[in-house]
């Protein structure tokens, strides 16, 4: 058991006081770790890999809210569409089309966040600023009858440079405020930004949802 219960409790209290939602990122971690937080009352968990997510969802309590935070391939949407709570990394209209199709089949509305590319690294997925603006002002959003776009998600550069991180988070927050104008229903309310290393900065700069893994569960071991 490697859950850091003390860290969980202090982060949980801190976020509660700031009205920020905590997603416990449990990728690569065993079910026993998830159950430990579940028994403390935690329900929102984040996973990156489709097969791992469906195995865990099958084995664990049904009232867990599963957040898909990884890069989602269109051909895998059907496996998570029956139960996923929020898909964070929607980075193309092709993916939106597939999610919408599967949501219609399941007769449900699926909540999604559009992923925005804010980091300097070229490998990170997402819409860039102009593509996001074009999409949101195009009128095409309403074609996706069974998707509710709840907000934006972004990952800052893998860096310790606070100035750089601040700049990236500030950019994402300004896209978020702008994008809000395209949604009059008041349900565009989620800005998913901040991880173990940078969540406090992200919250200062306007995050409403943080995705924290290693601070809660310890470092991940990918060699297994
Ligand atoms: C793994 C992951 C996290 C959690 O990272 P930590 O640094 O362990 O908190 C958050 N967001 C995404 C998209 C991830 O892939």
**Residue nearest atom 4 of ligand 1, based on CA coordinates:** 213
Q: Is residue 195 one of the residues assigned to a domain?
A: yes
Q: Is residue 180 one of the residues assigned to a domain?
A: yes
Average pLDDT over residues 91-105: 97
CA of 135 to the centre of ligand 1 (A): 27
CA of 88 to the centre of ligand 1 (A): 12
Q: Is residue 25 one of the residues assigned to a domain?
A: yes
Q: Among 69, 202, 217, name the best residue to mutate to test ligand 1's pocket (greatest count of ligand atoms within 8 A of Cβ).
A: 69
**Residue nearest atom 15 of ligand 1, based on CA coordinates:** 70
Structural domain count of the chain: 1
Q: How confident is the model over 162-209, as pLDDT tens digits? A: 999 999 999 999 999 999 988 877 899 999 999 999 999 999 999 999
Give the pLDDT band (50/70/90) at residue 49.
very high
Nearest atom in ligand 1 to 25's CA: 4
Give the pLDDT band (50/70/90) at residue 97.
very high
Nearest atom in ligand 1 to 27's CA: 1
Show Cβ contacts of residue 21 under 8 Å, excluding neighbours closer than 6 positions: 15, 44, 208, 209, 210
**Residue nearest atom 13 of ligand 1, based on CA coordinates:** 69
Return the closest-CA partner of residue 3 out of 209, 194, 213. 213
**Residue nearest atom 7 of ligand 1, based on CA coordinates:** 196
CATH code for position 203: 3.20.20.10
Q: Is residue 138 one of the residues assigned to a domain?
A: yes
Mean pLDDT of the chain: 95
CA of 107 to the centre of ligand 1 (A): 30
Q: Which range of residues forms the domain containing residue 205?
A: 5-216
Average pLDDT over residues 67-91: 97
Q: Is residue 224 one of the residues assigned to a domain?
A: no
Nearest atom in ligand 1 to 88's CA: 13
Q: Is residue 223 one of the residues assigned to a domain?
A: no
Q: How confident is the model over 8-48, as pLDDT tens digits? A: 999 999 999 999 999 999 999 999 999 999 999 999 999 99
**Residue nearest atom 5 of ligand 1, based on CA coordinates:** 213
Ligand 1: list residues with CB < 6 Å: 25, 27, 48, 69-70, 155, 195-197, 211-214
Q: Is residue 199 one of the residues assigned to a domain?
A: yes
Q: Is residue 140 one of the residues assigned to a domain?
A: yes
- The pLDDT of residue 1 is above 80: no
Using CA atoms, how far residue 20 sits from 119, 131, 140, 202, 203, in Å, is 22, 28, 30, 11, 8
Contacts from 173-178 at CB under 8 Å and sequence distance 24+?
A: 173/205, 173/206, 175/116, 175/129, 175/132, 176/151, 176/152, 176/206, 178/133
């Amino acid at each position: 058991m490697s859950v850091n219960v003390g860290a969980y409790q202090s982060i949980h209290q801190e976020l509660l006081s700031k009205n920020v939602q905590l997603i416990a990122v449990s990728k690569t971690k065993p079910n026993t770790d998830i159950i430990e937080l579940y028994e403390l009352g935690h329900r929102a968990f984040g996973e990156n890999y489709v097969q791992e997510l469906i195995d865990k969802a099958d084995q664990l309590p049904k009232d867990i809210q599963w957040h898909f935070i990884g890069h989602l391939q269109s051909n895998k949407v059907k496996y998570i569409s029956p139960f996923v709570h929020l898909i964070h990394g929607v980075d193309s209209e092709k993916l939106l089309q597939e999610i919408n199709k599967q949501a219609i089949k399941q007769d449900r509305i699926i909540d999604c966040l559009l992923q925005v590319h804010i980091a300097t690294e070229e490998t990170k997925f997402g819409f860039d600023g102009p593509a996001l603006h074009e999409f949101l002002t195009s009128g095409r959003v309403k074609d996706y009858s069974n998707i509710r776009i709840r907000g934006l998600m972004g990952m800052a550069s893998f860096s310790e440079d606070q100035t750089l991180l601040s700049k990236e988070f500030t950019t994402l927050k300004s896209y978020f405020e702008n994008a809000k104008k395209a949604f009059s229903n008041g349900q565009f309310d989620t800005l998913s930004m901040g991880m173990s290393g940078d969540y406090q900065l992200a919250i200062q700069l306007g995050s409403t949802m943080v995705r924290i893994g290693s601070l809660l569960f310890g470092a991940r071991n990918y060699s297994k």
